[in-house]
Structure 1
Amino acid sequence: MIDDFAKQYLHSDLREVRETMLWKLDGLAEYDARRPLTSTGTNLLGLIKHLSNTEARYFGEVFGRPFPERLPWWGADKWATEHESRTEIVDRYRRAWAHSDATITALDIDAPGHVPWWPRPDVKLFNVMVHVLTETNRHAGHADILREQLDGVVGTDAGNTALREKGTAFWANHRAKVEKAAKAADPAQA
């Protein structure tokens, strides 16, 4: 009973955060979806591409259910080349979801898997579900910050307007208050 609940709960959370990741691309120009916004090149479309790889490999290879498409190498999957369309990357992410969902549905939460690149490679579906959910949430946080840098849009979906309703003046004042506190706490800034 608890196994079914845990599996459904984790799966539901994973589905929600996937949608959040795609929502972060809504309304963005092609350049803004792709452009590097950190010194390491992190960008929104690259995060989607990377998460496609993550889901396809973890819910595929780990359980002997390989994803039927060729995937980019780890590390080469965090940015989109000029030859890859946004539609292609988003569609691959959705196909990776379908493949992952099929694995999650077909297997019991204690089904064995093998992650050869982990220090303790013998795992259960539970371990992989928690890992992928954690990884996706981590990147959703990155995506939230990246999108805020681009146009100030924050939150988990278009209906999440509470932060935006406060307006730019409120946030400018809030940021100034945080900056003042940071400087006051550091004697070197005085």
Structure 2
Amino acid sequence: MMASDQKADLHRYLKTARESFLWKLDGLSEYDVRRPLTPTGTNLLGLVKHLASIELGYFGATFGRPSNEPLPWLADDAEPNADLWATPEESREELIALYHRAWAHADATIEELALDATGHVPWWPPHRNPVPLHLILIHVIAETNRHGGHADIVRELIDGATGLRPENSNLPDADPAWWAAYRDRLERAAREAAGLRPPA
């Protein structure tokens, strides 16, 4: 396979992961896109903010192509996890627009550089630098899909919505009764494996 084909494949996987992630916010209230649903505060809009920051960093500063987007939540004096939640002043529209601008900036880097073009990730230790675009693409695809999995779980906790994307759920086509029975079966199997009594 030629390098240009490999790059196109990787880029396509990144684009698919981005789009799959963003639709998890569709139809939700302002509260629901922001509210923390895990003990560590995982929330949908914060993940958008984080993913935008990832793309701007890895496809920007790494290759000497800064975006000039202000990212105060990444400043040296920013509080921990400032990139993982949206303040009341940061609108959903603003952060989604930032993510779209991050896509455009990243896409330009990906299209203009060869897969073996090298960059330097300032926040990585010296032994991991320099790094080729090929590895950065893989890294960002993995990060985007990892956070996409977080978004899947958070969205399901909010309103029960599941699936890979609107036109392809990638799940069995089953009604709520089937899913309830399936979950009960898994609970029984887990209890049996652990030597616990069946639920009352």
- Scaled by the length of structure 1, the TM-score of the pair is 0.95
Alpha-carbon separation, structure 2, partners of 1:152 and 1:163: 13
Alpha-carbon separation, structure 1, partners of 2:189 and 2:17: 33
Give 1:123's aligned amino acid. Answer: V
What is the aligned residue count?
189
Asked if 1:114 corresponds to 2:114, the answer is no
Give runs of aligned pairs for residues 67-86 of structure 1, distance below 5 A.
Answer: 67-71=67-71, 72-73=73-74, 75-86=81-92
Give runs of aligned pairs for residues 59-138 of structure 1, distance below 5 A.
Answer: 59-71=59-71, 72-73=73-74, 75-119=81-125, 120-138=128-146
Q: Could you tell me whether the CA contact under 8 Å between 2:36 and 2:42 is conserved in 1?
A: yes
Alpha-carbon separation, structure 2, partners of 1:131 and 1:163: 26
5+ unaligned residues in a row in structure 2: which ranges? Answer: 75-79
Alpha-carbon separation, structure 2, partners of 1:30 and 1:89: 13
In the TM superposition, residue 161 of structure 1 has moved relative to its aligned partner by 4.4
Q: Which residue of 2 aligns with 1:56?
A: 56
Alpha-carbon separation, structure 1, partners of 2:183 and 2:146: 24
Q: What is the root-mean-square deviation in Å for CA atoms of aligned residues?
A: 1.4
Runs of 4+ aligned residues of structure 1 deviating over 6 Å after TM superposition are none
- Scaled by the length of structure 2, the TM-score of the pair is 0.91
Alpha-carbon separation, structure 2, partners of 1:67 and 1:91: 14
In the TM superposition, residue 147 of structure 1 has moved relative to its aligned partner by 0.7
Alpha-carbon separation, structure 2, partners of 1:164 and 1:91: 33
Give 2:187's aligned amino acid. Answer: E
Asked if 1:139 corresponds to 2:127, the answer is no
Q: Which residue of 2 aligns with 1:5?
A: 5
Q: Could you tell me whether the CA contact under 8 Å between 1:154 and 1:164 is conserved in 2?
A: no
5+ unaligned residues in a row in structure 1: which ranges? Answer: none
Deviations 1:64-83 (A, max 9, x none): 00012111217311100011
Give 2:51's aligned amino acid. Answer: L
Alpha-carbon separation, structure 2, partners of 1:8 and 1:143: 26
Q: Could you tell me whether the CA contact under 8 Å between 2:60 and 2:109 is conserved in 1?
A: yes
Alpha-carbon separation, structure 2, partners of 1:111 and 1:162: 36
Change in Cα spacing, 1:140 to 1:162, as seen in structure 2 (3 Å) is closer
Partner of 1:24: helix, strand, or coil? helix
Deviates more, 1:111-120 or 1:39-48: 111-120
State the identity %: 54
